[in-house]
Amino acid sequence: MPTMALVAAGDPNLELILKVLPALVVILLVAGVCGRLALMVMQPRVLGEMVAGVLLGPTLFGWLFPEAQAALFPKEVRPVLYVLSTIGLTLYMFLVGAGLDHSARSPGEVRRGSVLAASGILPSLVLGAGSGLVLYDLLSRPDISRWEFALFVGGALSLTAFPMLARILYERKLENSPLGRLTLIAASIDDALAWCILAVLSAIHLGTGSGGALRTIGLSALFAVVMLAVVRPLLRPLGASFVRTGQLGPGAMYVVILVPLTAGWLTDWIGVYAVFGGFLAGLTMPRDPAFRKVLHGRMMDVVSTLLLPVFFTFSGLNTHLNGIAGGTMLLAFALILAAGFSGKYFGCALAMRGMGFGWRESYAVGALMNARGLMILIFINIGLAQGMITQELFAMLVLVAVLTTAGALPLYKLALPERLEQARRTEPEEPRPLKEATSA
């Protein structure tokens, strides 16, 4: 057969394909099964896909069948998985940005979102950094300073998983509800600030100094301005063409794909990771509701089904949970988990209450803001690749990602049952005076 002849002749491209495709097949099968099981226990599908990534790593699959895991995910396959996962995250965040309904913005929404963001990031940052100072001698690498380590832990715990949160809201059709939009605004601010922290840490660790960090932050701000002030008007004819014809032709789809990939490439070059370029690219898309619906329908299923599970598996391959066995390590993990959970949940809930929302809405938003799985995985993958953290801390933070995300939806439902949630999908949810909110 021609294929076997090429393999026998040592065609490296074909040999790589024959290694990558089986890995993708197994990833999708396991992700599909775990995603279905997650739905059966009233969890978002994405949580099952996160767990699938951990199961395919060395903790279970590599422990039970080390030869099979090594054969399925050899070292030459992993860079391919990394590239696919980055493309998937970038396109997913592009769809999140493109799907936001700006016409539904209520008065004061950005201000309230900023307050909510501060209430989520500051307590988590302080508690996380305090935990890092306490655990420095146990978990840090010797070449990392105490304050670098503490700031990394605090930055990781201050994240809200913007893509994860968006996917939960999409699955529940809450992405354009007042509470959903407020939470997305706050999560986007939290993540942007956390990436600024990572940019500073990376600059210090890699020896570029404070000037390198300021360059990264300045270029990021300039990039955002160019995208929203220059690129967005240039894309308006795309929306006008869709309104006129009612369809996205091949030429339009080239533009739709090229914009987020180019934006992701540029933000990667700047140093703030491709997902933010993808999100900003989504914000530049035409705001016509029918355009957003068609774009979402054309791309979301492929991106979320094919590419996102690859990222979870890539993270899972670096997760060694057996490294946190023993009483001391378990106590360290409990401290990090408690700091991460309480900082987000109670900080955001109290801020919502202070803005005049009822306790149910406040605790519901606190629960949603605690879903941090996807972004913390990106954050700690970068930290691990740059030698800023140990495998043990990486594994602990992966577990924090899984557990806080697993708790987000049950806590949300406990605070806001289905009958109350249904009303909030369409009715405006403005802050009420505290006396009225208390009576509710």
pLDDT tens column, 130-186: 999 999 888 888 888 888 899 889 988 888 877 667 767 776 677 667 777 788 888
Query: How much is the pLDDT for 274?
Result: 78
Please, how many CA atoms are within 13 Å of residue 36, restricted to the half-sphere of its CB? 5
Q: How many angstroms from the chain centroid is the CA of residue 323?
A: 25
Q: In terms of Cα–Cα distance, which of 436, 379, 321 is closest to 55?
A: 321
The answer on pLDDT for 337 being more than 90 is yes
Q: Of the given ranges (24-33, 254-263, 321-330), which has the lowest mean pLDDT?
A: 321-330
How would you classify residue 65: left for phi > 0, otherwise alpha for psi between -120 and 50, otherwise beta?
Answer: beta
The answer on pLDDT for 9 being more than 80 is no
pLDDT tens column, 58-90: 878 888 888 998 899 998 998 999 899 889 888
Query: How much is the pLDDT for 100?
Result: 65
Tokens of 120: 């989520």
* C-alpha span between 376 and 336 (Å, rounded): 13
Confidence of residue 429 (pLDDT cuts 50, 70, 90): very low
Stretch 304-327: mean pLDDT: 80
DSSP letters, 28-55, are HHHHHHHHHHHHHTT--HHHHHHHHHHH
pLDDT tens column, 394-411: 888 888 888 888 888 888
The answer on pLDDT for 436 being more than 50 is no
Mean predicted lDDT score pLDDT of the chain: 81
DSSP letters, 159-200, are ---HHHHHHHHHHTT-TTSHHHHHHHHHHHHHHHHHHHHHHH
Confidence of residue 437 (pLDDT cuts 50, 70, 90): very low
The answer on pLDDT for 439 being more than 50 is no
pTM of the model: 0.75
Query: How much is the pLDDT for 184?
Result: 80
The answer on pLDDT for 385 being more than 80 is no
pLDDT tens column, 107-130: 667 788 888 888 888 999 999 999
* C-alpha span between 117 and 193 (Å, rounded): 10
The answer on pLDDT for 275 being more than 90 is no
The answer on pLDDT for 276 being more than 80 is no
The answer on pLDDT for 328 being more than 70 is yes
Name all domains of the chain by residue range, CATH numbers in brackets: 17-64+79-439 (1.20.1530.20)
